[in-house]
Structures are given as C-alpha cells and as structure tokens.
Amino acid sequence: MIKNIEISDSAALAIDVLTQNGYSAYVVGGAVRDALIKRKTNDFDVATDATPKDVIRVFSNFQVLLTGEKHGTVTVMLSEPIEITTFRTEGIYEDLRRPSNVEFISSLGEDLKRRDFTMNALAYDGKGEIIDLYGGISDINAKIIKTVGDPEKRFGEDALRILRAVRFASVLGFKIEENTLNAAIKLKNNLQAVSKERIFAELEKILQGEYVIDTLMNYSEIIFEIVPELRPCYKFEQHINRHKYDVYEHIVRSVGAVDNEKELRLAMFFHDSGKPQKFFIDENGIGHFYNHSEVSAAITLDALKRLKAPNKLINEVVWLVANHHLYMKNDRIELKRLLSEHGEERIAALIRVKCADCMAKGTEDAEQTSDEIKRIKNTIDEILRSGECLTVSDLAVGGDDLAELGFKGESIGKTLQALLNDVICGNLPNERERLIKSAKKRAEKYE
Ligand code: ATP
Ligand code: MG
C-alpha cells in the first residue's frame, strides 16, 4: 500500500545507511501501527536482511551496542537509539516462552509472519510504501487484534502473546478477534510457564491503559489466570445500597477512576480483594465486610511477591490497600497528625485512592463522600502550603539542644516527639525558647 507515514530522523537515517550499502531495511512493528492510528511512538524498530555483523560494519562510525546479537538485534546510537534486527524466523518453542534458536533469513515476508498480531506485522520502507501481507491495515481500521496465522498455534508457541493481546486492548481500545480470543482463553493456562517478571510488566501496562475498564471486564478470565486472587470477587454481590456494582466491577471501575500511576492503579486493583472472605449479611439483609482492608493487604502482599514486583512498589501498594479505609476527618489538627505520622506523599496518594474508591461506587451518596474527600484534600494542601511544623526535624530545637539540657538516649527522641505533638495540637508554638522551657519542665518530671 502506498502511504507516507512519519518516522523519526534517526529511523530514516538507519534505513538510508542500510539501503545505500545494498541491504533492504524497513521500520517494523509497533511504530508502523502507531503511525497509522496517529499515536505517538518513541520506539522505532528497524528490520533488515543485513546480519548483525554487517550492521556493525556499516555503522562503524557510530556507537553500536550488542543488545541481543544472538537473536539478531543490535542497537545503533544515532540521535536516538535505534534497534536494528536481522530478518529471522524463530525455531521451535520448547518452553512456551522463548524460541530455542533463531535463524537469520533474507525474506521480509517470513520475518513478518513470526510476529504476534496482524497490526504488528507491518513494515514501512521509509519511502512511502507499507508492506501489509497479513491484513494488518484493515484490522487496524476495524480495531481488531488478531494473530498472524492460527491463534492456537501462535499462543502455543509463546503464551505471553495472550497477555500482549489483552494489553493492546487496554492501551489501544481494540477488541480481540473472536477466534483469537477463544484460543487465548483455551490456552490461558500456558501463562503459568511464562516468567513472572514478564507477566508483571504486562499487567502494569494493562492497568495503565486508557481502556482499562472495558479490558478488565471483557477479558476477566485471562486476568484471573495471572491474578487468581481476584476471581472470588467476580459477580460477588455486596448487598449494600451505597454500592451499585459487584465487588469485581467496583474494583475495575476504581482502577479506571484513579490517576494513571502504577502504584495507584495497583492499589485500586487489589483494594477490595479481601471482601469475599470478610462478607457477612446482617438480619436486615445488609452486607458487611468488616476489616476487609487487612485481608486485602495480605492478599496484595502475596500476589505482588509472587509476581516479583519490586519491593518498594510492594510496600507502597500494600500500605495504600491496608489503609484505604483509614478514617479521615476535615479537621486541621487531625490531618496534621496524619501527615506527621505517615508523611505527605503517602497521605496524598491515599486521598487519591479514597476519591477513586468513592467514584467507583456508582451511587449519589458516593458523590457527597467524594466532595468531603475533596474538602479534606484542600485542607491538606493549605497545611502544606503554610509550611507548618509536621516532623521532628521541623522543630525549632534538635537532639543536641536536649542533650545539653541533660537528656540521654531514648528520652531525647521521646521528648522531641512529645514536643512535636504539642506543636501540632497548637498547645505550644514552634519557638526555640518555649520548646526549651517545656523540655526542661519534662526533664524535672522525669527526675
Ligand atoms: P509497544 O512498543 O508499544 O509496546 P510494540 O508492538 O512495538 O508495542 P514490542 O514489544 O516493542 O511491541 O515489540 C516489537 C515488535 O516485535 C512487535 O510489534 C511485534 O511485531 C514483535 N513482537 C514482540 N513480542 C512478540 C512476541 N512475543 N511474539 C511475536 N512477535 C512479537
Ligand atoms: Mg515497541
């Protein structure tokens, strides 16, 4: 098909250098797809019939990184890094993950055939022609995700493709074509053989997609294969007027309602995972889930550890899940205490979690609560702007001052904390003289 698409100067240069040296070269994969749907892309991959050795030679004036020479990929450092991969077929997949060997070939058509989806099996020659051997352009126009060739065979080779399909649905808002979806569901168990790191990377992208709500609803069976902890939430009725949706749908809507940051999206994804375990229905037919946050936090910890998420991320997400019901009142002193105890960042994140939780209830009452949370947020912003004393290090006295007054060991920290509490409550101004006087009084008490 004749069509000009925009590619970066570096990608164009890479193609020029290769073709001037007698090789064929194309921009392939996601960049072509994204250009056709007018989505911004930063990642231009080039495919060529030159072998990695040839590529290294023709780019000898540039820095070249051997990023995956065995699989045919080298990265050339032009004004941006460009990955150049030799046309290849993939050998037999022995472990449902990576081909045991790759073979370099000279045919673009064969190279495109090994690619996962028709929309990703397009090549652009840099001069106005798109090579579309598998119907990728019409599938892009119809917003369809379809494997190149028999879906069962393709998912059988590499189960990660099942999750990539779901991820592209979430990011691009495309639908998985029926046969492709049936095969994905049939073979979803093969995902157990894929490395947890790769699964987690896809899960994060799924949760950060613009179309995450529809994706998590439509492809829940695949989601439960990688996060079975959420399966009990599916269609779990809450029996509460405040909630319009079952537990899973509420979770999904809350993921879509929260700001698009991975920590927040993960926190929403797990925040009510403990509800089914804690459910009971009272004599009036009303559902309760007392202390479900604790169970949710334990489930979150297990799931994220299993998925080999980074520890720092696990800590923050688990904290948010454990505290998503933390009582907050629009009271300056109470809020200052919370900021002092948990820190500005965690409280700011928690407010966003609470807002999303509320918005995803789908009832009018939720709107009122959501307004109250916004008022709390305003008070917090005002506290932070006013630069008030919130931590021991903000105090106008330090440990050295107390040591001079004769405090020793543990009593130093304890006294600073006590002074801080008094300052936060407004019982004491944050002034050096007054704090020292108060500390002296405390010292007398200890004697
Ligand atoms: P994005 O970069 O936006 O995530 P992409 O389509 O560029 O999307 P990459 O993971 O960068 O995805 O892969 C580049 C190309 O390599 C894909 O477009 C596809 O043609 C091919 N590809 C990647 N992973 C697989 C796979 N598991 N099986 C088959 N082909 C794949
Ligand atoms: Mg890419």
CA of 116 to the centre of ligand 1 (A): 7
- On the question of pLDDT at 93 being above 90, the answer is no
Question: Which of 67, 120, 171 best tests ligand 1's pocket when mutated (most atoms within 8 Å of CB)?
Answer: 120
Residue of 54, 57, 50 lying closest to 106 (CA atoms): 50
Q: Is the pTM of this model over 0.85?
A: yes
Q: Is 30 in the pocket of ligand 1 (CB under 6 A)?
A: yes
pLDDT at 99 over 70: no
Asked whether the predicted pLDDT for residue 56 surpasses 90, the reply is yes
pLDDT for 259 beyond 60 = yes
> Quick one: pLDDT at residue 100?
64
Give per-residue pLDDT as tens, 289-333. Answer: 778 899 999 999 999 999 999 999 999 999 999 999 988 889 999
Given a contact cutoff of 8 angstroms between Cβ atoms, the answer to whether 116 and 107 are in contact is: no
Our answer on whether the CB atom of 160 is closer than 6 Å to any ligand 1 atom is yes
pLDDT of residue 70: 82
Output the six-digit token pair for 245: 């949706």
Ligand closest in space to the Cα of 147: 1
pLDDT digits (tens, 9 = 90+) for 128-173: 999 999 999 999 999 999 999 999 999 999 999 999 999 999 999 9
Q: CA-to-CA distance for 154 and 176, rounded, in angstroms?
A: 14
User: Nearest CA to 158 among 92, 228, 81?
Assistant: 92
Say if residue 376 is exposed, middle or buried (CB neighbours under 10 Å; 0-12, 13-18, 19+): buried
Select from 71, 116, 210 the residue to mutate for testing ligand 1; criterion: most ligand atoms less than 8 Å from CB: 116
In the structure, ligand 2 is a single-atom ion and the residues with CB under 5 Å from it are 30, 43
Arithmetic mean of pLDDT, 253-282? 92
Task: Please report the atom of ligand 1 found closest to the CA of residue 34.
Answer: 3
Q: Give every CB contact of residue 174 below 8 A, 6+ residues apart in sequence.
A: 119, 143, 144, 145, 168
Check pLDDT > 60 for residue 447.
no
| Residue 111 in contact with ligand 1 by CB distance below 6 A | no
The average confidence (pLDDT) of the chain is: 92
* Residue 363 confidence (pLDDT) above 90: no
46 CA distance to ligand 1 centroid (A)? 12
pLDDT for position 255:
98
The closest residue, in CA terms, to atom 25 on ligand 1 is 116
What angle separates helix 262-270 from helix 311-322, to the nearest 10 degrees?
Answer: 50
> d(Cα 419, Cα 435) in Å, to the nearest integer?
7
The structure tokens listed for 277 are 């375990």
| DSSP bridge partners of 396 | none
> Which protein residue has the closest C-alpha to ligand 1 atom 21?
115
pLDDT band at 282 (very low <50, low <70, confident <90, very high): confident
Determine how many CB atoms are found less than 10 A away from the CB of residue 61: 7
Predicted local confidence at residue 405, as pLDDT: 86
Report which bound ligand comes closest to the CA of 116. 1
Is residue 116 within 6 Å of ligand 1 at its C-beta?
Answer: yes
What gap in Å lies between CA 376 and CA 326, rounded to an integer? 13
Ligand 1 atom having least distance to the Cα of 121? 20
How far from 435 is each of 209, 398, 399, 405, 438, CA to CA, in Å?
52, 10, 12, 12, 5
Query: For the chain, how far is it from start to end, CA to CA, in angstroms?
Result: 90
